[in-house]
């Protein structure tokens, strides 16, 4: 009953905020011109203007001078302060009046944009305000009631959701599903909450991954902190929150439930919010693992922790995780090479790490038959990333810019050798002709003349370039056109959302274009 009453109160607030006024903004300004003058004098305002939401709700946005700072406030249409002039910034947010999916457009990691379907809950019209003195941000109703205070950091609006301290938001394909990737701003961890301030993940994330809504799945969210823990939620169900306490989480097909593992030695089990599970490391090896000090973890279990019952599981998990991070780096580079540099990549090393992890797990499984399922789950995970390694390594060899550049260079060298051979043959012919001419050999003179004539003809049609070189130049020109198009997309993305990664992407495309142009010059000069 109490929950219904609260909902009705919120609904009436929404109806009050959402009243549709027939007047246009211009007519409101005309009709309230005198009132605005009176309010300006009454309250000693520096400025006053009428603001109107998309739904017709309107108010006076006013300011007062306080010292050297201009501070803003809000006055209702009745002439009373809703918010005093204490704020650096005031934003009115239009409501969302029913639950459901909404299509949004986001920049893609690989260029261009993607449509993304995101679930929103009903949201009332409200204000977000930033205090002028402390920069604290508040979420307030249209009549001035504070719903959430104490928010520090940049707010990003995502429908009925709020993200605090994000750096980048972009889409990419992962596991065959379009995902929304949300990264923190490096100096602070992210927070994730509902529009009215209900905390979902509080001050602990550096990464969030949201699955696009498609047939047979939901908007599942995975959140990661820097202590090797992850949490989850389905946006469709606020009761589905899994706290950031788990080593691994996976979805259950067709259900809004998650399976979780608390630590590498645990087995997957369906999450229940009554569990109240929390992982507490029992030795230095587990602490190293939590702190992502994987090499220290491996050393511990190879020496003083070798007799621990979970030593092989943690050693294998550490090896596997080192490899997985490298596979993810490879995957990122292949999907968007300009935005993701590939550093210290070693295919054989990664493959060896995953195979070593499998060997350790298989050995442990033969000795510990009570936990066969746990070992097999980890072995299967190794196999997944071995397959991904093979897939992306093949794509790297075939499609990476560096490989294409090498192909171009080798093609140029090949053509250069052919040109050198032709020049050598022509020079030999000329020498033969000269020698024959000195001995008055008519055939020799004729051969020499034919060779020179053929050379003149080629020079007049193609600047002395062979067909192979001309074809190669045309291919490189196509590469320049493609890179120019990618550059334009990157510049558009950067203009709408300036980030350091976006700037690096622009510079990478410019360097690629410059490299291709130099390549054409080399081909034309025969170098």
Express each pLDDT in 123-144 by its tens digit: 999 999 999 999 999 999 999 9
Average pLDDT value for residue range 348-352: 95
Cα gap 329→33, rounded to integer Å: 60
- Strands 190-194 and 199-205 come out as antiparallel
- When mean pLDDT is compared across 18-32, 225-239, 284-298, 323-337, the lowest value belongs to 18-32
Q: If you compute the radius of gyration of the chain from its CA atoms, what whole number of angstroms results?
A: 33
pLDDT above 70: percentage of residues in the chain: 78
Q: Which residues contact 443 (CB under 8 A, 6 or more apart)?
A: 436
| Maximum average pLDDT range among 275-284, 419-428, 458-467 | 275-284
Q: According to DSSP H, which parts of 303-400 are helical?
A: 311-335, 347-367, 372-399
- Strands 81-93 and 100-107 come out as unpaired
State the pTM of this model. Answer: 0.67
Taking 90 as the threshold, does the pLDDT of residue 429 lie above it?
A: no
User: What are the pLDDT digits (tens) for 183-222?
Assistant: 987 667 899 999 999 999 986 788 999 999 987 789 999 9
Average pLDDT value for residue range 399-422: 50
- Characterize 235-247 residue by residue with b for buried, 16 or more Cβ atoms within 10 angstroms of its Cβ, and e for exposed: bbeeebbbbbbbb
- When mean pLDDT is compared across 17-31, 149-163, 223-237, 469-483, the lowest value belongs to 17-31
Cα gap 421→411, rounded to integer Å: 15
- When mean pLDDT is compared across 101-115, 173-187, 462-476, 495-509, the lowest value belongs to 495-509
DSSP string computed for 128-164:
EEEETTT--EEEEETTS-EEEEEE-S-EEEETTEEEE
pLDDT score for 431: 37
Q: Which residues contact 239 (CB under 8 A, 6 or more apart)?
A: 273
- 53 or 458, higher pLDDT: 53
Residue 445 — very low, low, confident or very high, per pLDDT cuts 50/70/90? very low
User: What are the pLDDT digits (tens) for 280-332?
Assistant: 999 999 999 988 899 999 999 999 999 999 999 999 999 999 999 999 889 88
pLDDT score for 187: 65
Residues in a beta bridge with 101: 119
Average pLDDT value for residue range 63-92: 96
Average pLDDT, the chain: 81
- 339 or 391, higher pLDDT: 391
Residue 176 — very low, low, confident or very high, per pLDDT cuts 50/70/90? confident
- 259 or 489, higher pLDDT: 259
Taking 50 as the threshold, does the pLDDT of residue 448 lie above it?
A: no
For residue 274, give the 3-state DSSP assignment.
coil
Average pLDDT value for residue range 14-24: 48
Which residue, 173, 481, 105, 483, is CA-closest to 335? 173
């Amino acid at each position: 009953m109490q929950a219904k009453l609260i909902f009705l109160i919120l609904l009436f607030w929404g109806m009050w905020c959402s009243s549709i006024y027939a007047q246009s903004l211009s007519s409101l300004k005309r009709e309230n011109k005198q009132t605005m003058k009176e309010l300006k004098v009454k309250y000693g305002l520096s400025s006053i203007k009428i603001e109107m939401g998309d739904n017709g709700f309107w108010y006076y946005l006013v300011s007062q001078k306080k010292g050297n700072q201009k501070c803003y406030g809000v006055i209702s249409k009745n002439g009373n302060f809703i918010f005093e002039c204490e704020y650096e910034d005031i934003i009115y947010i239009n409501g969302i009046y029913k639950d459901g999916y909404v299509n949004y457009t986001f920049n893609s990691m690989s260029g261009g944009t993607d449509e993304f379907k995101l679930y929103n809950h009903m949201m009332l019209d409200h204000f977000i305000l930033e205090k002028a003195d402390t920069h604290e941000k508040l979420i307030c109703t249209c009549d001035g009631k504070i719903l959430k205070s104490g928010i520090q950091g940049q707010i990003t609006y995502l429908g009925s959701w709020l993200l605090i301290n994000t750096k980048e938001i972009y889409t990419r394909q992962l596991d065959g599903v379009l995902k929304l990737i949300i990264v923190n701003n490096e100096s602070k961890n992210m927070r994730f909450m509902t529009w009215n301030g209900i905390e979902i993940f509080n001050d602990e994330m550096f990464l969030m991954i949201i699955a696009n809504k498609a047939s047979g799945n939901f908007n599942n969210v995975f959140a990661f902190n820097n202590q090797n823990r992850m949490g989850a939620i389905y946006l469709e169900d606020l009761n589905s929150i899994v706290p950031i306490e788990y080593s691994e989480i996976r979805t259950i097909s067709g259900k809004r439930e998650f399976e979780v593992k608390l630590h590498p030695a645990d087995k997957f089990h369906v999450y229940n919010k009554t569990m109240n599970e929390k992982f507490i490391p029992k030795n230095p090896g587990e602490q190293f693992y939590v702190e992502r000090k994987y090499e220290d973890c491996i050393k511990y279990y190879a020496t003083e922790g070798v007799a621990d019952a979970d030593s092989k599981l943690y050693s294998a998990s550490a090896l596997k995780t080192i490899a997985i991070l490298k596979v993810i780096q490879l995957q990122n580079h292949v999907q968007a090479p300009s935005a993701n540099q590939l550093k210290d990549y070693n295919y054989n090393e990664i493959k060896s790490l995953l195979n070593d992890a499998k060997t350790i797990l298989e050995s442990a499984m033969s000795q510990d038959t009570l936990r066969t399922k746990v070992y097999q789950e980890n072995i299967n995970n190794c196999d997944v990333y071995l397959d991904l390694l093979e897939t992306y390594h093949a794509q790297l060899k075939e499609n990476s810019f560096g490989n294409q550049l090498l192909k171009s260079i080798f093609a140029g060298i090949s053509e250069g050798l052919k040109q050198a051979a032709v020049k050598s043959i022509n020079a030999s012919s000329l020498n033969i002709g000269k020698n024959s001419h000195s001995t008055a050999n008519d055939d020799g003179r004729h051969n020499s003349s034919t060779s020179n004539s053929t050379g003149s003809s080629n020079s007049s049609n193609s600047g002395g370039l062979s067909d192979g070189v001309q074809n190669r130049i045309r291919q490189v020109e196509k590469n320049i056109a493609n890179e120019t198009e990618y550059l334009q997309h990157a510049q558009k993305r950067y203009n709408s959302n300036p980030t350091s990664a976006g700037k690096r992407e622009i510079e990478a495309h410019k360097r690629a274009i410059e490299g291709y142009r130099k390549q054409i010059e080399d081909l034309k000069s025969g170098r």
